[in-house]
Amino acid sequence: MTEIKVATLNVFNRMGDWERRAPLVIDQLEALSPDVIGFQEIDLMLDQGMWISRQINQRLGSAVPHYRIKHAGNTGKRASYHGIAALSRLECEEHEILDLMTFERVAQRMVLRAGDGSFAFVNTHLHHPPEAEKERVEQVEYLLEWLDRDARGLPLIVAGDFNAYLGEKAVALMKGRFRSAFEAVHGGEPEKTWPTPVNDFDTSPAGTLDYIFVSSQFRIKAAELAFNTPSADDADLYPSDHLGIMAVLEL
């Protein structure tokens, strides 16, 4: 079997004092050392994704495979600061981008080589605000229809910021097709993945918005919160306004 560590994190673009948050992101990314991670709210004007990639690769040196990043830009007026990106140190065989066709949202799918086989990693960021449940359901349905068009039956991981609270139909649709890695390990989802004190202006209810969903070909060995350690100098400073999720899988 091949072991794969995956993760997801909404980076919160340049907001929330990025210059102070950035070292926390890199420190905790290095400690986590995922094989692939999906980022949401990547700021393309800052070349934020490439900066993260360069920083972590500098720390790795030449002893291990370096990370490579694939971006998917937002389709509308928020393109410069609301992109998504996947960072992987596995060989990438394919990369596709899906325009979800509503509210300037996109998804990306990478086919990655692991051991003697391949799997697909999907990264997405669905529509906000909380009351937009119907719109998120439509985006999930559109995403699933796209994934179903690939008849190869590749093992599949779907991760990201779904902006969908527990109990929403969008989450139920995903769980009807996949297992939530965190729930499979712990018997339930985390108390919350949003917000941290970094976001002091959004009054939406706290809750779990971020997930890693996996197909039946994977055995889920572990799953935990990630990017959840505040600065040693400031208890209110976290890597992002979201907590991340990580999972260790066997393929």
What stretch of H or E contains 224?
A: strand 219-226
Q: What is the pLDDT of residue 191?
A: 97
Ranges of the chain whose pLDDT falls below 70: none
Pull the structure tokens for residue 52.
């993260």
Position 78 scores a pLDDT of 77
Q: Note the pLDDT of residue 25.
A: 98
Quickly list DSSP for 93-153: EEEEEEE-SSTT-EEEEEEEEETTEEEEEEEEE---STT-HHHHHHHHHHHHHHHHT-TT-
Q: What is the pLDDT of residue 92?
A: 98
Q: How high is the pLDDT of residue 198?
A: 98
What is the domain class of 3-250 according to CATH? alpha beta
Per DSSP, the three-state class of 184 is helix
pLDDT for the residue 50 = 97
Coil, helix or strand for 68?
A: strand
User: CA-based Rg of the chain, rounded to a whole angstrom?
Assistant: 17
**CA pair distance 133, 240, nearest whole angstrom:** 24
- Measuring CA to CA, how many Å separate 172 from each of 122, 203, 217, 239? 18, 25, 20, 29
Domain locations along the chain? 3-250
Tell me which amino acid residue 139 is: Q
Buried b (16+ CB within 10 A) or exposed e, 147-180: beeeeeebbbbbbbbbbbbbebebbebbeeebbb
pLDDT score recorded for residue 59:
92
- pLDDT at position 77: 77
